[in-house]
Amino acid sequence: MEFLADFGLFLAKVVTLVIAVLILVAGVIALGSKQKKGASGHIDVKNLTSDFNELVKDIKSVILDKEDLKKEAKAEKQKEKEEKQAKKVLAKSDQLTTGDTERQKRVYVLDFDGDIKASAVDALREEISAVLSMAEPLDEVIVRLESAGGMVHSYGLAASQLARIKERGIPLTIAVDKVAASGGYMMACIADKIIAAPFAILGSIGVVAQLPNFHRLLKKHDIDVEILTAGEYKRTLTMFGENTQKGRQKFIDDLEDTHVLFKEFVSEHRSAINIEEIGTGEIWFGRRAKDKQLIDEIKTSDEYILEQIDQSDVFHVSYELKKTLPEKLGLAANIALDRLLLKWWDRINQARFYQ
């Protein structure tokens, strides 16, 4: 009887603990969903020119001796002094206008990492709006673009966002280090200049669609699927119904029309290319893409940005979403788990070492 009493007390404690944990988890999820509905973010701006100069200083402080460091510091001070004097001379001679037309060029760097839904377009919209609030025609926007394409309407919207930069008369450069194919190239062709790494993948100016059909499998097991539509072509091909040749042909016609629109769009923005030659759905690596006029220059984004740092103020602009409470807790849990696994792995290795 004493054992049963102890066991009952233990069981009650466990049940109470489990219920408390479930209530806590439910509360966190509910709070997280509320936060997600009103989720907001902020624009984060980093001065890449300053970061790079600090990096150079750190390297010099290790490599150069004290005498050389003094010479470097003296030369920098002299350069800054000369620049300030030059600005004063311009101001006195009224060459420096109220609009500050003689100011240093600013370069804004954005990143677009595209998935099949072009989900990054939401952040891109915010980043472009922020940049357009400050940028002028003497400035430049660089977009580091990585995407193998996806949904037509999603990438059409992403391309339209980039077009906002062009409409304001601000030079736009697209840099492709890995891939800008299909919808990715639809975005890239908007640019005034496209640069790409030697083996970056470009092109794929085509349209593809595929879906499985389970009609025969369902029919074999005597399962009927009824699809009711109003409108002759409301559904052309389906996954569960019996597809007709008429519906299949309409689906193909729609694909062809989308392909024509895609080719017209590329031709409009890259008039130098032979659209019939490159609009076959093929892809080309950077060097071959340059021969086909798909890009303007073989160069990595790092190379191009470093060139701009020498003559411009370069800023990286990104839109950062605030993490919800469940995401923060999940991140903390992952970090704790990683540390636990690392400790466990270290102990195993130590045990092996001392054996």
Does 313 lie in the same domain as 231? no
Residue written as token pair 């400035």: 139
Q: What does the pLDDT read at residue 9?
A: 72
Q: What is the pTM of this model?
A: 0.75
Which string of b and e fits 18-42 if b means at least 16 CB within 10 Å?
eeeeeeeeeebeeebeebeeeeeee
Q: What does the pLDDT read at residue 354?
A: 45
Q: What does the pLDDT read at residue 33?
A: 60
Residues 272-280: contacts with CB under 8 Å, at least 24 apart: 275/205, 278/203, 278/205, 279/205, 279/206, 280/205, 280/206
Does 223 lie in the same domain as 133? no
Q: What does the pLDDT read at residue 27?
A: 73
Q: In this structure, is residue 31 part of a structural domain?
A: no
Catalytic residue among 37, 66, 92, 234: 234
Q: In this structure, is residue 13 part of a structural domain?
A: no
Q: What does the pLDDT read at residue 97?
A: 46
Q: In this structure, is residue 64 part of a structural domain?
A: yes
Alpha carbon distance 212, 334 (integer Å):
37
List the CATH number of the domain containing 54: 3.90.226.10
Catalytic residue among 182, 204, 301, 312: 182
How many domains does the structure of the chain reveal? 2
Does 111 lie in the same domain as 195? yes
Does 220 lie in the same domain as 178? no
Does 127 lie in the same domain as 194? yes
Does 168 lie in the same domain as 226? no
Give the residue numbers spanning the domain of 149: 41-76+106-205+280-321
Does 258 lie in the same domain as 152? no
DSSP for residue 193: E
Residue 246 falls in the annotated catalytic set: no
Does 180 lie in the same domain as 314? yes
Does 289 lie in the same domain as 254? no
| Domain end call among 231, 250, 272 | 272
Alpha carbon distance 281, 287 (integer Å):
18
Alpha carbon distance 6, 38 (integer Å):
49
Residue 60 falls in the annotated catalytic set: no
Sequence-distant (6+) residues with CB within 8 A of 257 are none
Q: In this structure, is residue 20 part of a structural domain?
A: no
End-to-end Cα separation, the chain, in angstroms: 49
Q: Which two tokens stand for residue 10?
A: 């233990």
**Chain center to CA of 16:** 46
Q: What does the pLDDT read at residue 355?
A: 46
Mean pLDDT per block of 10 residues along the chain (355 residues) reads 66 78 74 59 93 85 79 76 66 50 87 96 96 96 97 96 96 98 97 97 94 90 88 89 91 95 96 94 96 97 94 94 62 65 62 47
Does 211 lie in the same domain as 295? no
Q: In this structure, is residue 345 part of a structural domain?
A: no
For residues 125 and 161, the answer to whether their CB atoms sit within 8 Å is yes
Alpha carbon distance 184, 60 (integer Å):
40
**CB-neighbour burial class of residue 329 (10 A; exposed 0-12, middle 13-18, buried 19+):** middle
Alpha carbon distance 161, 155 (integer Å):
10
For residues 159 and 124, the answer to whether their CB atoms sit within 8 Å is no
For residues 233 and 250, the answer to whether their CB atoms sit within 8 Å is yes
